Amino acid sequence: AQTVTQSQPEMSVQEAETVTLSCTYDTSESDYYLFWYKQPPSRQMILVIRQEAYKQQNATENRFSVNFQKAAKSFSLKISDSQLGDAAMYFCAYRRKTNFGNEKLTFGTGTRLTIIP
Amino acid sequence: DTAVSQTPKYLVTQMGNDKSIKCEQNLGHDTMYWYKQDSKKFLKIMFSYNNKELIINETVPNRFSPKSPDKAHLNLHINSLELGDSAVYFCASSPGLAGIRETQYFGPGTRLLVL
């Protein structure tokens, strides 16, 4: 079974600084997808960024980028120029790739990110 | 133009009652899901439906019964509610086709409190 581990329950960063959230996963699959979701106090789950395992290039979305190390099964999220609105729980998630496209997401336990003004 | 909506947002009820949570998506997606987020914020899949057919049924008590009247709706009915059912329940949907379009989009969540 696939597992996702986020070893940092809490992180904090000064506004405008850069922070990296860690995620490791365990799978025997060779092709899969990885995601970072953000959950602010409003509880809404918001997709931040996604990565396809067969792509070597790291995904980027504006201030958000990932460091995907397939051999190490590591998928960290870097947030540059942190803003107060980035304060939230961040969840790393894994999804197996199939031909049917209805696979579940397996989530990590989350990292609570605090932004210090 | 909410993509995935859930009702109600909050639900407070007594132990032993039966309650339902409704979910609707207007994205034209084929697949819908229910996830449970416990008090420690851990998110776990409960069910998924693809075109009204049950695809995933994780180890969930049979007091929980999902119902999909059409592919845009996936409701969750819970019988004989227990204290341990208190959680936030998220509905999600995805296109249902293989590939990166398989991103799941979440509803706002329903916070259930069983007293």
Over residues A13-70, the pLDDT tens digits come to 999 999 999 999 999 988 899 999 999 988 889 999 999 898 889 999 999 999 999 9
User: A103–B50: do the CB atoms touch at under 8 Å?
Assistant: no
User: B103–A109: do the CB atoms touch at under 8 Å?
Assistant: no
Q: Is A105 on the interface with B (CB under 8 A)?
A: yes
Pairing of strands A19-21, A24-26: unpaired
Residues of B whose CB is below 8 A from A106: 45
Over residues B78-94, the pLDDT tens digits come to 999 999 999 999 999 98
User: B100–A110: do the CB atoms touch at under 8 Å?
Assistant: no
Tell me the pLDDT band of B114, cut-offs 50, 70 and 90: very high
Tell me the pLDDT band of B59, cut-offs 50, 70 and 90: confident
3-state DSSP of chain A: CCEEECCCCEEEEECCCCEEECCEEECCCCCEEEEEEEECCCCCCEEEEEEECCCCCCCEECCEEEEEECCCCEEEEEECCCCHHHCEEEEEEEEECCCCCCCCCEECCCEEEEEEC
Which residues on neighbouring strands pair with residue A96, listed in sequence order? A32
**How high is the mean pLDDT of chain B?**
90
Over residues B46-55, the pLDDT tens digits come to 988 888 888 8
Q: What is the mean pLDDT of residues B21-32?
A: 93
Are the C-beta atoms of B35 and B103 separated by less than 8 Å?
A: no
